[in-house]
Amino acid sequence: MSAMLGLSYIIINSEIPMAVPEKKTAAAPHRSATLAVGDKNLSFPMLDGTEGPSVIDISKLYGESGHFTYDPGFLSTASCESKITFIDGDAGILRYRGYDIDALAEKSDFLEVAYLLLYGELPNAKQKQEFVRTITLHTMVHEQLHFLFRGFPRSSHPMALMVGASASLSAFYHDSLDINVPEQRELSCWRMIAKMPTLAAMAHKYSVGHPFIYPQNDLGFSENFLNMMFATPCEKTKVNPVLARAMDKILILHADHEQNASTSTVRMAASSGANPFACIGAGIASLWGPAHGGANEAVINMLREIGDVKHIPEFIKKVKDKSSGVRLMGFGHRVYKNYDPRAKVLHKTCSEVLAELGKIDEPLLKIAVELERIALSDEYFIERKLYPNVDFYSGIIYRAMGIPSKMFTVLFAVARTVGWVAQWKEMMEDPKNKIGRPRQLYTGARQRAFVPLEKRS
Ligand code: ACO
């Protein structure tokens, strides 16, 4: 391909200072990369972030060379500039706004992290109190939404309900749809964060035929969510604080992961100026896919299939045999080539939850721990840098809490809504925001004459 285009190579000129850029960006260019296309040498600015690889700004490539770049799956493409989340997959680092994920999971709580992701700083005591109050006052959904749920078959996958219900919020909250008004944007963010657990619990209640449980303003975010999931009108329930804390941690760990498929979907949908509720609906649709939000369910199925610690060596043998098509689910990650920092926190949380519930002898946990031990000392996994990812332990925790496997991805959506709205807000505030419009490598038919029906074979 490169020979065909006459595109020879890229040189990074680290010493050559660039002319002052027309528009000052946060990542000011001070180096350039030279791309030889045919007999032309084209120079492109290199932008440095605060951490991570620098990028080559090729936005003027087409104008200057008549060529596009080609990068299916965005393996080498930074789609935007962002200040929210930083990942170093080789070092196993995940940070929100500069704070390590394990510190946030252990020392903070979900709404504090939501504030951090949205506004860039941890709240002080007054800001936190106001934010928690604001979110709490938005947890109820319009009563008419109950009828929307009732239009779905009881057997619907709860993610189908979530895609529909989240996008439908745009039909109820007309006073926060003007994306050009900062106050309305903020109100939409609060509404999405507050109402998503209510919708998620409604999706669960609907599927099991229980009445919906209204939010309770005297409960914390995760406590309220678990109450809406498991309470019934017949009996007073008290949410176990250990489980509420574990849920809070899980939500923190899943809150954002920079430009993953669902977040990029939200940004792409929003780039046209679509309303935020509809954009989050698009994000939920993307998250639903098994390559994104659905792997923790697959881990549970795998552990069940293994059934006993004594079957692990035989299972590992199958995983290493490529012809079997079997993978060790919950292991490996496109970005992390080290232990996923979220998996470390979840392993500990998993033991805490099972101990609290008197299920420490849970056979699935025993199998998971032994699988991890064997895999981490096996050359196959070491060589390929395959470590447990966030999904390896989360399913065991959910199962122990009594959450059905169909709801696992819904919980992911509840958490990731915070990341989606934070990324959406950042994008809306960015003056460089443009409609997302990728190009393509066209390989279809060239122009041909129209053939009337009677002459077609
Ligand atoms: N079990 C066994 N072998 C594996 C696994 C695994 N889980 N993951 C990767 N490998 C092997 C591949 O066979 C390949 O081997 P080869 O070099 O001999 O051909 C090598 O490791 C590289 O694998 P790729 O598939 O190229 O890696 P990629 O980065 O594209 O895939 C993925 C990442 C999809 C997550 C993969 O590791 C996988 O399928 N894992 C299991 C599913 C899973 O847990 N997904 C959840 C990810 S976390 C999340 O999305 C929230």
In this prediction, residue 20 has a pLDDT band, given cuts at 50, 70 and 90, of very low
Ligand 1 centre distance from Cα of residue 317 (Å): 16
On the question of pLDDT at 190 being above 90, the answer is yes
Instruction: Provide the pLDDT confidence category of residue 116 given band limits of 50, 70 and 90.
Output: very high
Q: Which numbered atom of ligand 1 lies nearest the CA of 333?
A: 35
Pocket test for ligand 1, best of 315, 320, 333 (most atoms within 8 A of CB): 333
Whether 415 is in the pocket of ligand 1, judged by its Cβ within 6 Å, is: no
CB 333 less than 6 A from any atom of ligand 1 = yes
Residue 74, pLDDT > 90, answer yes
10 Å CB burial of residue 50 (0-12, 13-18, 19+) is: exposed
Q: Is 316 in the pocket of ligand 1 (CB under 6 A)?
A: no
- Pick the residue whose CA is nearest to atom 19 on ligand 1: 322
| Protein residue with its CA nearest to atom 2 in ligand 1 | 327
Q: Is the pLDDT of residue 35 over 80?
A: yes
154 close to ligand 1 (CB < 6 Angstrom): no
60 Cβ inside 6 Å of ligand 1:
no
Q: For residue 289, what pLDDT is reported?
A: 87
Give yes or no for a contact between 320 and 381, defined as CB atoms under 8 angstroms apart.
no
Looking at residue 21, what is its pLDDT?
Answer: 43
Q: pLDDT grade, residue 14 (50/70/90)?
A: very low
Residue among 338, 382, 384 whose CB has most ligand 1 atoms within 8 A, to mutate: 384
Cβ–ligand 1 distance for 295 under 6 Å, the answer yes
pLDDT (0 to 100) of residue 19: 43
- pLDDT-derived band at 358 (thresholds 50, 70, 90) equals very high
Structure token digits, residue 141: 């959904």
pLDDT digits (tens, 9 = 90+) for 410-420: 999 999 999 99
Atom of ligand 1 nearest to the CA of 330: 44
CA of 332 to the centre of ligand 1 (A): 5
Q: Under the phi-then-psi rule, with left for phi > 0, alpha for psi from -120 to 50, and beta for the rest, what region is 284? A: alpha
- Tell me the pLDDT band of 13, cut-offs 50, 70 and 90: low
CA distance 325 to 171: 45
Going from the Cα of 409 to the center of ligand 1, the distance in angstroms, rounded, reads 20
- Percent of the chain topping pLDDT 70: 93
The rounded distance, in Å, linking the Cα atoms of 84 and 28 is 18
Mean pLDDT along residues 328-346: 91
Catalytic, 71? Answer no
Q: Mutation test of ligand 1: which of 256, 321, 331, 336 has the most ligand atoms closer than 8 Å to its C-beta?
A: 331
Catalytic residue flag (residue 138) = no
292 C-beta closer than 6 A to ligand 1: yes
Rounded mean pLDDT, 110-134: 98
DSSP 85-132: EEEETTTTEEEETTEEHHHHHHH--HHHHHHHHHHSS---HHHHHHHH
Ligand 1 centre distance from Cα of residue 281 (Å): 28
Q: Which of 346-350, 365-369, 424-428 has the highest mean pLDDT?
A: 424-428
CA of 323 to the centre of ligand 1 (A): 15
Q: Is the CB of 346 under 6 A from ligand 1?
A: no
Of the candidates 204, 257, 333, 347, the residue annotated as catalytic is 333
Q: Is 320 in the pocket of ligand 1 (CB under 6 A)?
A: no
Q: Which atom belonging to ligand 1 lies closest to the Cα atom of 327?
A: 1
pLDDT recorded at residue 295 = 82
For residues 318 and 258, give the distance between their C-alpha atoms in angstroms, rounded to a whole number: 34
pLDDT surpassing 80 at residue 24? no
CA of 331 to the centre of ligand 1 (A): 7
Mean pLDDT of the 6-32 span: 52
Q: 318 alpha carbon to ligand 1 midpoint, in Å?
A: 15
Report the C-alpha gap between 320 and 338 in whole angstroms: 19
Give helix then strand counts, H and E, for the chain: 19, 7
Rounded to the nearest angstrom, the distance between the alpha carbon of 68 and the centre of ligand 1 is 30
Torsions phi, psi for 225 (to 5 deg) = -65, -45
The string of pLDDT tens digits covering residues 197-251 is 999 999 999 999 999 999 999 999 999 999 999 999 998 789 999 999 999 999 9
Q: Which of 65-79, 150-164, 362-376 has the lowest mean pLDDT?
A: 362-376
Residues 339 and 369 sit within 8 Å (Cβ to Cβ): no
Range in 23-32, 49-58, 80-89, 394-403 the model is least confident about: 23-32
For ligand 1, is residue 57 a contact (CB within 6 Å)?
A: no
Does residue 23 surpass a pLDDT of 70?
Answer: no
Q: For position 128, what pLDDT does the model report?
A: 98
Pocket of ligand 1 contains residue 146 by CB under 6 Å: no
Tell me the pLDDT tens digit for each residue of 264-293. 999 999 999 999 999 999 999 999 987 788
Structure confidence at residue 29 (pLDDT)? 56
Cβ–ligand 1 distance for 386 under 6 Å, the answer: yes
H helix or E strand, kind and range, residue 372? helix 363-376
First to last CA, the chain: 35
- The mean of the pLDDT values for the chain is 92
Report the pLDDT value the prediction gives residue 10, as an integer from 0 to 100.
Answer: 54
| pLDDT class of 4 with cuts at 50, 70, 90 | very low
Query: Which atom, in ligand 1's list, is nearest to the CA of 412?
Result: 51
